[in-house]
Structure 1
Amino acid sequence: MRAPEDLSAFPYLRELLNRIDVCTLATYPPRECGIGTFTKDLVDAIQKFTPFSDMSVIAINEEGAIHQYGRRVRFVIRQDELETYHEAADWLNASSASVLSIQHEYGIFGGEDGEYLLEFMERVRKPMVTTLHTVLTQPKENQKRIIQGIFEKSDRVVAMVDVARDILAESYGVNVNKLCIVPHGVPNIRRIPIDQAKRALGLEGRQVISTFGLISRGKGIEYAIQAVAKVAKEFPNVLYLVLGQTHPVVRRLYGEEYRNYLLNLVKELGIQRNVSFENRYLTLDEIIAYLNATDVYVTPYLGPDQIVSGTLSYALGCGKAIVSTKYLYAKSVLGPGRGLLADFADAESLADAILRILSDPQLRHNLEEEAFRYGRRTTWHNVAIDYLDIFREVLRERSERYQPTEPEVVQPL
């Protein structure tokens, strides 16, 4: 007897209900990784449009790790073991998957700059759509070679902001005709009054600033803490929430060195009452609860080339007033009226922008409305539709490319 989820018995019904079997290569929960969170959100959203489809995942495990995955994960690659990439490609070719969705970030694949991915792609016979989570303006030669290889082997490549098109053409010399722009998705969030959200978290009477995500030195949290010291002179009840645990890779290599530095900085500045750390990996519901209670969301990141930020996307989706340093993604999505930009590694610049918002309720309201309006266009619902359109387009192209042609009929003279 067939299992209830075995839908191969109903091929016509599956076709009727928008069937498309998508396999995704990426990190995946419970591994604590931003790419993994993105992948699950995207796959969940696509599944809602294609309930009779088989959504599968090839998950990438970091060195020495074992994760208890759910049934969606069908194959596990060990990041630094090349033979597992070959085995995964062979498994994929034999599977029912219609198309492969690859989530690319140099650091999640094995080999120099993640070059094992290219060997995997070389063996795959399915249509491939690759999403780029990093596009460096000044790549090393090997990083450039890898992106060129991805473009060569992929049927389509996805980036999340328009600025990526120029960077890829100029710095990598690739054919950007394959490139599609699909924004980073955000949850469909129900806004609640900020006083109600603060009350639920015991934050009544506080001006709440927040930053969330996996913590590492590149986040620039120390500059936000120094900015809060200045803000606290005018708003003594300000509270900066640093939400999230240390990045697992950073913790494995350096322990809690950076977090301890931040804790000591708070003590040196005498603002223990104004800064609070939540040192754990937060659920989506917890993130939204904290964002709903936030007056100003801050991303003080130090890397100018950062072309994706899931945390900034979620703050937009929640309709928050945002202060950010001028990295590529922030400059792209925080257009006129959607946020304030500050200089890199500059506590004074961050503080001035935060003070502008806290001192001007009308400005804060306007920023919130513009951010929420933008976020509504980038819900996972809309992003899933864009990806499904791309998948169907490449499947149609593959079908037309390999469709046998009718032999030419020669009429007798």
Structure 2
Amino acid sequence: MHNNPIVMVSSYPPRLCGIATFAEEAREFIQKANPQREVLVISHTDGRGKGVFPIIDINRPDWWKAVAEKIRDLDAYAIHLEHEYSLYEYRDKRGIGDNSEGFLTLLEAISDYPIVVEPHTVHGRLRDAEANFIYDLCQRSDVVLFKCHYQKWRLEWTFAGNGWKAPRNIMVVPHGARPDRRWGMDEIPELRKELGLEETGLSDHVVGMIGWIQSNKRWDILLSMWDEVHEEIKRRSGQEWDLLAAGTMRDPDHRDDYEKWTKEVWRLGHKGIAHYHEFVPRGELYYKMMAICDFIVLPSTDETQSGTLARIIALNKPYITTA
């Protein structure tokens, strides 16, 4: 057992997925804390990289069997699973999903191993099916990690309202922000050049809106008022500030908003007050794109902890957010 590997189960890059990006960094830090063990990943079929086993085929109702078998083959020391409903949702020929039933079955199949589950699905307005799923998940896990204290007390409030006992195996581990991704003001010109932004006419002062472009991120909030905000900043400070909107779409279901919002950025760009930069927000590049901004705006309809917000905090950037 001394050198048995820690096995993560999650989506993984190059998939365009926030959980995949999170898992990549989580793996790095789990490895640093456990240098004597390998940290391996069982991912969906599009996962790639050293120590990654891309065997989760969610088109099969029994996808969990291959995962359980691989965990036994690897003789894991412990299992760390990331959960988000869409990652493990098998849909039949009618398009009807199983509400991650296969995920719960997997937990039962690997119950001989220490199980840590990190759900990215806990919020303050749980529907009955969601509350029931989390209850079942907690029953089948040794430790369940939440990212915010409010998630835990809100869940306990919901469970009490249903007459259920609150799980005793929930631990709050804040999302956190890595301390090793900061650049000094003297390094910003070189970063702008590296990112290809030096020749775009980008102002010396930059408001950033950085990350995945998806409907719940509500880029339209800032875009709809940027004309006025730009003029007000100029009136008060006498300075030119540009908006840098940078990211890409990750969910085809959000294509309409993606196309509408990027078109609006280009319209503002023709007026010389905004710039659009297409990139995949992942790894060090994600941090560098934020680093060149003076402050960052993060409009959102989510109330859960944001990976984008964690990176903003890691960079020690002023920010405005909505939720």
TM-score, normalising length from structure 2? 0.84
Amino acid across the alignment from 2:312: A
- Which one has a larger percent helix, Structure 1 or Structure 2? 1
Identify the residue that residue 94 of structure 2 maps to in structure 1: none
Identify the residue that residue 342 of structure 1 maps to in structure 2: none
Check 1:126–1:262 CA distance in 2 against 1; reply closer, same or farther (3 A cut): same
- Which one has a larger percent strand, Structure 1 or Structure 2? 2
- Which of 266, 289, 305 pairs up with 1:308? 305
Check 1:204–1:216 CA distance in 2 against 1; reply closer, same or farther (3 A cut): closer
Identify the residue that residue 229 of structure 1 maps to in structure 2: 227
RMSD of the TM alignment (CA)?
2.4
Identify the residue that residue 24 of structure 2 maps to in structure 1: 40
Identical-pair percentage: 21
Amino acid across the alignment from 1:193: G
SS of the residue aligned with 1:319?
coil
Listed one character per residue, the Cα deviations across residues 155-211 of structure 1 (whole Å, up to 9, x for unaligned) are 011011111111111224453421111121433335333364146412774321112
Bigger Cα Rg: 1
Q: Is the 8 A contact 1:35 1:103 kept in 2?
A: yes
Give, in whole Å, the separation in 2 of the partners of 1:288 and 1:185: 15
Q: Is the 8 A contact 1:266 1:272 kept in 2?
A: no
Give, in whole Å, the separation in 2 of the partners of 1:260 and 1:74: 35
Amino acid across the alignment from 2:32: K
Check 1:74–1:278 CA distance in 2 against 1; reply closer, same or farther (3 A cut): same
Identify the residue that residue 193 of structure 1 maps to in structure 2: 184
Check 1:213–1:181 CA distance in 2 against 1; reply closer, same or farther (3 A cut): same
Identify the residue that residue 55 of structure 1 maps to in structure 2: 39
Q: Which runs of 5+ in 1 are unaligned?
A: 1-10, 62-66, 328-413
Q: Which runs of 5+ in 2 are unaligned?
A: 91-96, 193-197, 235-239
Identify the residue that residue 263 of structure 1 maps to in structure 2: 262
Identify the residue that residue 237 of structure 2 maps to in structure 1: none
Once the two structures are superposed, the pairs formed by residues 225-374 of structure 1 within 5 Å of their partners are 225-236=223-234, 237-247=240-250, 250-251=251-252, 253=253, 256-266=255-265, 272-303=271-302, 306-325=303-322, 327=323
Check 1:293–1:216 CA distance in 2 against 1; reply closer, same or farther (3 A cut): same
Identify the residue that residue 85 of structure 1 maps to in structure 2: 64
Amino acid across the alignment from 1:116: G
Q: Is the 8 A contact 1:246 1:279 kept in 2?
A: no
- Does 2:50 match 1:71? yes
Listed one character per residue, the Cα deviations across residues 235-263 of structure 1 (whole Å, up to 9, x for unaligned) are 3522222221101xx32x46x42222113
Amino acid across the alignment from 2:276: F
- Does 2:147 match 1:160? yes
Identify the residue that residue 397 of structure 1 maps to in structure 2: none
Listed one character per residue, the Cα deviations across residues 102-131 of structure 1 (whole Å, up to 9, x for unaligned) are 111112111433332111112112111111
- Does 2:96 match 1:140? no
Check 1:185–1:21 CA distance in 2 against 1; reply closer, same or farther (3 A cut): farther
Q: Is the 8 A contact 2:181 2:287 kept in 1?
A: no
Q: CA deviation at 1:50?
A: 2.4
Q: CA deviation at 1:264?
A: 3.7
Give, in whole Å, the separation in 1 of the partners of 2:81 and 2:10: 6
Listed one character per residue, the Cα deviations across residues 47-86 of structure 1 (whole Å, up to 9, x for unaligned) are 123233121111024xxxxx36123113511123221212
Identify the residue that residue 113 of structure 2 maps to in structure 1: 126
Give, in whole Å, the separation in 1 of the partners of 2:47 and 2:123: 33
- Does 2:82 match 1:103? yes
Check 1:97–1:297 CA distance in 2 against 1; reply closer, same or farther (3 A cut): same
Amino acid across the alignment from 2:143: R
Check 1:58–1:129 CA distance in 2 against 1; reply closer, same or farther (3 A cut): same
Identify the residue that residue 101 of structure 2 maps to in structure 1: 115
Give, in whole Å, the separation in 2 of the partners of 1:42 and 1:228: 36
Q: Is the 8 A contact 2:21 2:283 kept in 1?
A: no
Matched length: 299
Give, in whole Å, the separation in 2 of the partners of 1:282 and 1:165: 29
- Which of 205, 211, 214 pairs up with 2:209? 211
Q: CA deviation at 1:298?
A: 1.2
SS of the residue aligned with 1:278?
strand
Give, in whole Å, the separation in 2 of the partners of 1:86 and 1:174: 31
